[in-house]
Structure 1
């Protein structure tokens, strides 16, 4: 059988524990026998990250920038116990976070719908893609406990030396809590472009959810930027594709999502995306059946991975020589999503058909 020729390379990012073992199986049995492909390999296993002082993660991200497609295995993000276990030099940051910052992309999570996996939300017959704006808000907030009576203010000091802007937040009559959080126009614009491009790619409608009735300025800023970009750059493309873009209130959107059948892209602010992506995954039946794709604002670079961890429990059994049975589907889909995107970029219909066929036989 002649192999399918792939004109341009993909970047492979190897991982840890049980997923690393499954990863090699997938590559050797399902990918290499069928494709004539140049794979740029980076070992993101925790030991090698430690050896290179995490430089390998930065190099891998730069390679994805260069070749436009990354395919990543699940990796360990070390905590104190892992630092001890592997005798690490330090508690290295999450490789996903590092790659996300370098590529400046948005993470889109999509469930894998299998005929034989029962869905908790029975009317969800087609996937829902959740796009999470993974920057700012609560995740970069400054929060504090207030002791006693006093006035809380918020001050913005302009760099140009003009008068500071002071907002009175609350007059405390006793103990309490307070928080200040922020976001940037640049980051929100990048998020909007990523979402519009993913929706166009899928030919699915896009919904942005906020609570702009309460956070009139903060969430209103998100709503206004999305609307402006849509009208200027995407409206004609959406109409040509027969899809729509709409802003909805988060509470209305949650209720609608449960009622609908799927086949839409849901753009969420940081906290909403954190919560709703897990809720959507579980509603489709399993957190383990979830793909995660990082897409840059221009839609020209992507990195695909499984949305689950390294399956440590099975790895401990494997180390002890016991038989294991680990679900490889999300890891297979990391390969297929990456290869399909490579096919799209290269105009390689044969490669796209191969990726789609491999997904079909899984579900």
Structure 2
């Protein structure tokens, strides 16, 4: 049978460890037998990022802005142990943080729900979508180790030489200090993306920060969201029959845990990172979570919401079989192919992306699963298989 044709390439960002192995398997088993795959390949594996002084990450993000759609494998954000393990020149920042800063978008994450896996939060009936701000905060921070008594000041210097300063802390001994930042432009883009996504999906939008403590930093987020809603979206939301409201993040967490789901929950960068993992775990597995970065210009970058599955990778290096769940990475590929198809008017490619997801979900619902779902799926005929066996079962359904 003739392969499905593509017009415009995807930006393909390869990654690290076990997810890099799964990435190759998905292409070989699921996609390439059916699609004449066109991608522009960027190797974001940690070794290559180090060799290029992380320029490859910047190049990949810039090309994504040009082509409009990317798909990204999970990547390592190095710590001190990785510095030694990979003999790195420096402790490179999060590649996701770099990409998000360049695209200036919002990350939308939602669980992949299947029959037979009941969310641990029993009242959740519909998926909750996490809208995570994708710029600044701890992912682009500046940090110092304080090695003795000193005074830490926060200083603003304007082009005309005018300065404003505040003392952060008077250190009497060693410690740490951290500086975070954000911009009105990025916060506004975040808010606009959230309001547009909520309208597009006809879902209520919640936004939560901690402005009672962070009166200026978090308070600025709250102020910008409310202003954009009041001046641009209030009437549209009312006409669509959906609502927007703000609450403190601790109150939001309590509300979320007793809700039935079916709404968009907008959060700052780090809050969104943590809460999306909580949401994924509560719905079954970190590997059962979709993630897409949407920029204000309509650029899309699809990725898995989890990490590189290091523990399984070390077992793989020993020649052992692993049962790593490929669903999030598989849905990153299907999401990117679908969006590319929609932008290029390729109905057959869009249908293929839909069939990938349908076949994957049916494979799990019929009992063929990876090890992480063994204690979660309610099915008397369930069978735990390796990653490759799972992907071949999906391919058979296709």
TM-score relative to the length of structure 2? 0.77
Q: After the TM superposition, which residues 125-140 of structure 1 pair with which residues of structure 2 at under 5 Å, given as runs?
A: 125-136=125-136, 140=141
Aligned equivalent of 2:17: 17
Q: CA deviation at 1:127?
A: 1.8
Structure 1: 5+ residue stretches without partners: none
Alignment RMSD: 3.5
Structure 2: 5+ residue stretches without partners: 362-398
Aligned equivalent of 2:353: 355
Aligned equivalent of 1:26: 26
User: Structure 1 residues 324 and 167, CA, compared in 2 at 3 Å: closer, same or farther?
Assistant: closer
Aligned equivalent of 1:76: 76
SS of match in other structure, 2:190:
helix
User: Structure 1 residues 282 and 40, CA, compared in 2 at 3 Å: closer, same or farther?
Assistant: same
User: Structure 1 residues 170 and 333, CA, compared in 2 at 3 Å: closer, same or farther?
Assistant: closer
Q: Encode CA deviations 1:87-116: one digit per residue, 9 max, x unaligned.
A: 334333322122122212222222222323
User: Structure 1 residues 102 and 171, CA, compared in 2 at 3 Å: closer, same or farther?
Assistant: closer
User: Structure 1 residues 219 and 100, CA, compared in 2 at 3 Å: closer, same or farther?
Assistant: closer
In the aligned structure 1, how far is the partner of 2:223 from the partner of 2:251? 19
TM-score relative to the length of structure 1? 0.84
Q: CA deviation at 1:154?
A: 7.0
Q: Choose 20-29 or 72-81, whichever is displaced more.
A: 72-81
Q: CA deviation at 1:39?
A: 1.4
In the aligned structure 1, how far is the partner of 2:9 from the partner of 2:207? 34
SS of match in other structure, 2:320:
coil
Q: Contact between 1:205 and 1:244, CA under 8 Å: does it hold in 2?
A: yes
Q: CA deviation at 1:12?
A: 0.9
In the aligned structure 2, how far is the partner of 1:131 from the partner of 1:338? 18
- Number of matched pairs: 360
Q: Encode CA deviations 1:288-312: one digit per residue, 9 max, x unaligned.
A: 32222222123x1111111112222
Aligned equivalent of 1:343: 341
Q: Contact between 1:15 and 1:72, CA under 8 Å: does it hold in 2?
A: yes
SS of match in other structure, 2:192:
helix
Q: Encode CA deviations 1:7-52: one digit per residue, 9 max, x unaligned.
A: 3221111112221111111112211222234211112222322333
Q: CA deviation at 1:121?
A: 0.7
In the aligned structure 1, how far is the partner of 2:335 from the partner of 2:274? 24
Q: Contact between 1:76 and 1:310, CA under 8 Å: does it hold in 2?
A: yes
Q: After the TM superposition, which residues 1-363 of structure 1 pair with which residues of structure 2 at under 5 Å, given as runs?
A: 1-136=1-136, 140=141, 159-160=159-160, 182-213=181-212, 215-239=214-238, 241-298=240-297, 300-363=298-361
Q: Contact between 1:192 and 1:297, CA under 8 Å: does it hold in 2?
A: no
In the aligned structure 2, how far is the partner of 1:102 from the partner of 1:136? 11
In the aligned structure 2, how far is the partner of 1:359 from the partner of 1:166? 53
Q: CA deviation at 1:331?
A: 0.8
